[in-house]
């Protein structure tokens, strides 16, 4: 994965429209990709934390579980899914298609 800034970066909106020709379409594509990334990251985190799941919670176990805390901190430090999606879109790593164009093409036959 390329270096993704963890903080807010000012972007030129017109640069986002280059790929699609429409700023709003680009933003829609980026938001859908960000949702995909967020779901994937959440599933990864939940699967890793599930390894530490216990049926009995007592105070000693909470303080002793440093590995679980480290895993959580790692995921907290990751760039936000929106930043990751914007970087992927700008780098041309996001595949998208326009369903309206496909319908027009198929109805022409």
Question: What is the per-residue pLDDT for 38?
Answer: 95
Question: Higher-confidence residue: 9 or 79?
Answer: 79
Rounded to 5°, the CA angle 53-35-26 comes to 165
Look over the chain and give the mean of its residue pLDDT values, rounded to a whole number: 80
Domain segments of the chain: what residues?
A: 21-51+66-107
Residue reference for tokens 């319908």? 103
CA distance 53 to 94: 35
Q: What is the pTM of this model?
A: 0.73
Burial class from Cβ neighbours inside 10 Å (0-12, 13-18, 19+) for residue 91 reads: exposed
Is residue 52 very low, low, confident or very high in pLDDT (cuts 50, 70, 90)?
confident
The mean pLDDT value for 90-106 works out to 73
In degrees and rounded to multiples of 5, residue 65 shows phi and psi of -85, 70
């Amino acid at each position: 994965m390329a270096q993704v800034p963890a903080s807010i970066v000012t972007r030129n909106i017109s640069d986002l429209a280059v790929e699609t020709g429409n700023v709003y379409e680009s933003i829609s594509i980026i938001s859908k990709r960000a949702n995909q990334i967020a779901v994937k990251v959440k599933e990864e985190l939940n699967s890793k934390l599930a390894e530490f799941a216990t049926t009995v919670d007592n105070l000693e176990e909470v303080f002793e579980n440093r590995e679980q805390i480290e895993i959580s901190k790692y995921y907290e430090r990751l760039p936000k899914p929106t930043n990751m999606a914007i970087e992927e879109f700008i780098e041309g790593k996001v595949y998208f298609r326009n369903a309206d164009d496909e319908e027009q093409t198929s109805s022409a036959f």
